[in-house]
Structures are given as C-alpha cells and as structure tokens.
Amino acid sequence: MISQSLLFNSFLQTPFSPRQRSLQGWIAIIGFVLLSLTCYFAGAAGMLRLIYPATALLVAIFLYLRHPILYIGFTWWMWFLTPLVARLIDYRVGWDPTRQILIAPYLVVFVTIATFLRHFPQTYRQGGLPFILAFIGVTYGFLVGLIYNTPVPVARGLLDWLSPIIFAFHLFMNWRDYPSYRQNLQRIFLWCVLLTGAYGIYQFVVAPEWDRYWLIESKLFTSSGDPVPFGMRVWSTLHSVGPFGAVMQAGLLLLFTSSGPLIFPASAVGYLSFLLTQARTNWGGWLFGVIMIMGSVKARIQMRLIILILVIAACVVPLTTIEPISDVVAARLETFTNLQEDSSFKDRSGSYDRNLSLALSNLLGNGLGNTWKVNEKTGQIEVFVIDSGILDMFFTLGWFGAIFYLGGLILIFFSVATYTEARFDSFISTARAIGLSAAAQLVIGSGMLSIAGMILWGFLAMAMAGHKYHKSQNITQLQQRSTT
C-alpha cells in the first residue's frame, strides 16, 4: 500500500502550470462561497455554523498546498468577513451564544502550523529566534492553563495567542517570495479598505437589522453605540469596533504604498468609516505610523506621501462636515482636550492602579483561558476584559512566559528598527510602522490577540522577510560581479 507521505509528495508534485493552479484555487474559493450561500438561502443557515468552519478548513489546506498566495488572501478575508456571516446567520435563525462559527478564521490560520513544524529545526539559523521565544511563552501559558482553567477557555485562549505567531512565521519563512507576497498584501488591504469602509458608512447611516440584532443581543452598547441609524460606532464587517479600527489603521497606512485608480475612492470611504469608529487609540496609532514612515523614507517618497495625504484630506474633510457625521467626529475629537474627565481614560487608569502590582507579582501566571469563562447557565464563553496587553501578558503568562513572549517581540523591534532597506522600499517602511504602531497600543489593549495580533505580528514578519530578501539579492549581485 502506498504510504501517506508518498501520496502527499505526489500531490505536491503534480505537474500543473501556475495558471492552472490559480484556477483550481479560485474554483475552491468560489465553491466555498456558493456552498455557504446555498445553505443560507435554502433553509439550512443553522447548519452553516458547522459547515462554514469545516469547509473553510478544507479550502485552506488545499490552498496552502497548491496555491500559497491565494491561501494568504483567503486567510485575511476570512478574518474580515466571518463576523458579518455570523451576524447574518444569527439574524436568520436566532442568537448563538457560543459564537462557534467565529472559530473559522483560526482554523484557517492553524494550517500554518505545518510551516512551523517543518522549519523548526533550522529556524534559529534563519533568523526566526523571536518566533521561537514567543512560541515557548505561549506554550508555557497553555500548560499552566490546563492546570488552573477548564479546557474550552484554554483552547480558545490558545487560538488567540498562537495564531498570529505561526502565521507571521509562515510569512517570514517565505521571504524568497517577498515581492509576490508584498503585492498580494497591498491588493488585499486595498480592497479591504474599499469594501469594509463602504459597508461601514452604510452601517452608520442605515443600521442594518442584522447589525442591530447583534448589538442588542450582545449588549455592547457602551463600546458600540445605540442600535439606531447614526447611533452606532462603526465596526463594519468585523466583530467589534476595536478589530475594525486595527484593520483600517493598517489598511490606510498600507494605501500609501499602493497605486491605481481605486486608491482615492478607497481612501475616501476608508478614512470616513475610520473616523466613524470613534476609536481614538487607532487614530493615534495611524498618526504615529505616518510619522514613522515619513522619518524613514527618502525625500522623494516623502514628497509623494505629503501630496497623497493632502489630496486625501481634500476628499475626506468635506464629507466630515455633513451632519450628523460632523457632530459625531467633532464630539470625539473634543475628548482629546479633556482626557482627565473621559470615562474610558478613567477606566484604563483605574485598571492600571488596581492591577499593575498584582500582575507584576504573578510569577507563574494564571495560564491561557484565565480571561475566558464559561457561563454555566447560558453555555456562552464570556471574556473578562483587561484593557492592557502588558497586564494581560503578565496575568496570563506570568514572569516566566512573559519574558519569552516579550523577548521575542523586543528582538523584532530592535531588528526592524535598523533596516536600511526602508529608505528605498516603502513597503518595508510601512510594514514596520504598522507593526510598531500596533505594538505601542499594547499599553491600552490586548493587541497581540486575534486579528489585531495578526496585524502586529504579520506586518513585522513582512518587514523581516523584505530585509532578508534584499540582503539575499545584494549577496547574489556581489557574487555575480565577482565572477565577471
């Protein structure tokens, strides 16, 4: 009998052209979409809560093996759209307190554990030490969680903490294909800003029934607004305001590296919806990112960025003067002048006052799953929110795990800060700015988890991949010159 490994190798070596493989990949993706639509409109929407994650995993495995570029795009769009799919299903068949369909993006990402296991032996020699350190820290937290916490919250915590690390490692290990990965990410986030930004404006103006239903059932009125037109804080197709703000912050910065006719319409709807999130943390992160980009690129690129920002401002500012948009944006901007009286600022300050000494005295940590609890009455997994990534690290991983996890992040920070390629490769400069601006927000949010963590780790990994690619190109050119 033919062994499984031989079957696997023969599958990988099947002689298809790149165009044929791409066609196969798109057929798989379209098939997934059509199956989901058929189930939804044919009266089987409830079954989608199981079918959707299962088929997404199968498509992800196929794309990972046959078309890696499409796999990257499929992964990001699963993060962007799955929460909207969940809300549509809930509106059609009733509220699901377990939110089981939201596991789909994590399953798609976890396919990259194969990359980690395959390259682990030579990871250190190839510059992947930061990912190893972070992986050790999370593994420690997982083992402690199994001791102190129940299995379901521990598994949920593992998905949140580990997914960004292994996905970023996958991007880094494919540094030889950096140009195609760079172009792919630019295209993904261009369309993301355009489509999710447009839906965000629609959500604010119309307040679709499925979004109102989710807001009422989730009872997140304080963070997401009122379930009425012009009363919501925009979260678009994402799960809540924070994740959408993180995605738009990254996407709008990445638009500076893109070109084409869609840049300005994407920027118009993107910046307007970004303002309607009322997410001040992400506004500040975007500004910090712009400053870092400006300070790292050549004068010619700086001038291009300044012109682009002025043109975008000319398109967006008139839109913000329309009522009631102007009232919402102006009211939120005014809070910057009186942060001492802001309730959100008070809550975060109070959280630090109460929990900082407790977190730093937690030597062993509470383990993964300590912020997730199962409600015995409803069966719903509920989260205890800690408005600080730093506090969350020490509460969850303790000193032992946090030293490894933070050590990995700090190693990356010092590495990417020295990259001279950012002078001529604006994508490296922007990816670095996105990653570092996301890291700066760890002080006031757990931005290392879920899709925010995907952005933090993923773009830092792309900066590392770009550096490694250019370094390899320089060595190759020197070798060619020495032989001629």
Taken in order 114, 117, 122, 126, the sign of the CA dihedral is positive
For the segment 306-359, what is each residue's pLDDT rounded down to a tens digit?
Answer: 888 888 888 777 877 777 777 787 777 777 666 555 666 566 666 666 666 777
What pLDDT is recorded for position 347?
63
For the segment 225-239, what is each residue's pLDDT rounded down to a tens digit?
Answer: 899 999 999 999 999
Query: Is 90 exceeded by the pLDDT of residue 411?
Result: yes
Q: What is the DSSP letter of 233?
A: P
Query: Is 50 exceeded by the pLDDT of residue 242?
Result: yes
| Burial class of residue 57, CB neighbours in 10 A (0-12, 13-18, 19+) | middle
What pLDDT is recorded for position 348?
62
For the segment 1-44, what is each residue's pLDDT rounded down to a tens digit?
Answer: 444 444 444 444 455 556 666 788 999 999 999 999 999 999 88
Neighbours of 473 (CB within 10 A): 12
In a domain, 9, yes or no: no
Confidence label for 122 from pLDDT (cuts 50, 70 and 90): confident
In a domain, 11, yes or no: no
CA distance 136 to 336: 39
Query: Is 60 exceeded by the pLDDT of residue 361?
Result: yes
What pLDDT is recorded for position 8?
43
Confidence label for 160 from pLDDT (cuts 50, 70 and 90): very high
Picking from 68, 103, 67, 66, the residue whose alpha carbon sits closest to that of residue 83 is 103
CA distance 429 to 422: 5
In a domain, 401, yes or no: yes
% the chain with pLDDT above 70: 87
- 241: which 2 tokens? 């305001």
Cis previous bond, 97, omega within 30: no
Neighbours of 295 (CB within 10 A): 11
Query: Is 90 exceeded by the pLDDT of residue 125?
Result: no
In a domain, 6, yes or no: no
Which DSSP string do the residues of 365-405 spell out, in sequence order?
Answer: ---TTTTEEE-TTT--EEE---S-HHHHHHHHHHHHHHHHH
Rg (CA), the chain: 23
In a domain, 3, yes or no: no
What pLDDT is recorded for position 2?
43
Q: Are 277 and 241 in contact (CB under 8 A)?
A: yes
Q: What is the rounded average pLDDT of the residues 136-161? A: 92
Residue 136 CB partners (closer than 8 Å, separation 6+): 401, 404
What pLDDT is recorded for position 323?
77
For the segment 186-215, what is each residue's pLDDT rounded down to a tens digit?
Answer: 999 999 999 999 999 999 999 999 999 999
Q: Are 87 and 210 in contact (CB under 8 A)?
A: yes
Residue whose pair of structure tokens reads 């008070």 in the numeric block: 346
- 249: which 2 tokens? 């912050």
Angle at alpha carbon of residue 19, lines to 80 and 472, rounded to 5°: 75
3-state secondary structure of 111: helix
CA distance 343 to 458: 32
Q: Give the domain range for residue 133.
A: 17-482
CA distance 26 to 434: 29
Conformational region of residue 3, where left means phi above 0, alpha means psi within -120 to 50, and beta covers everything else? beta
Residue 120 CB partners (closer than 8 Å, separation 6+): 132
Q: Are 369 and 149 in contact (CB under 8 A)?
A: yes
Q: Are 26 and 70 in contact (CB under 8 A)?
A: yes
Q: What is the rounded average pLDDT of the residues 73-90? A: 97
What pLDDT is recorded for position 336?
66
Helix axes 450-483, 389-417, angle to 10 degrees: 10
Distances 366 to 245, 356, 418 between C-alpha atoms, Å: 29, 15, 36
| Burial class of residue 46, CB neighbours in 10 A (0-12, 13-18, 19+) | middle
Name residue 383's beta-bridge partners: 372
In a domain, 4, yes or no: no
Is pLDDT larger for residue 5 or for residue 413? 413
Cis previous bond, 18, omega within 30: no
Task: Specify the long-range contacts of residues 27-33, CB closer than 8 Å, at least 24 apart.
Answer: 28/59, 28/62, 28/63, 29/59, 29/63, 29/70, 29/74, 31/59, 32/56, 32/59
In a domain, 2, yes or no: no
Picking from 136, 97, 38, 36, the residue whose alpha carbon sits closest to that of residue 400 is 136
- 461: which 2 tokens? 């990994």
Is pLDDT larger for residue 1 or for residue 250? 250
Query: Is 60 exceeded by the pLDDT of residue 121?
Result: yes
Determine the residue type at 54.
Answer: A
Q: What is the rounded average pLDDT of the residues 150-154? A: 88
What pLDDT is recorded for position 312?
80
Distances 353 to 112, 217, 350, 358, 444 between C-alpha atoms, Å: 39, 32, 5, 10, 13
Confidence label for 179 from pLDDT (cuts 50, 70 and 90): very high
What pLDDT is recorded for position 475?
83
3-state secondary structure of 152: helix
CA distance 400 to 389: 16
Q: Are 47 and 40 in contact (CB under 8 A)?
A: no
Q: Which of 299-303, 341-345, 388-392 has the lowest mean pLDDT?
A: 341-345
What pLDDT is recorded for position 376?
47
In a domain, 8, yes or no: no
End-to-end CA distance of the chain: 52
Q: How many domains does the chain have?
A: 1
pTM over 0.85: yes
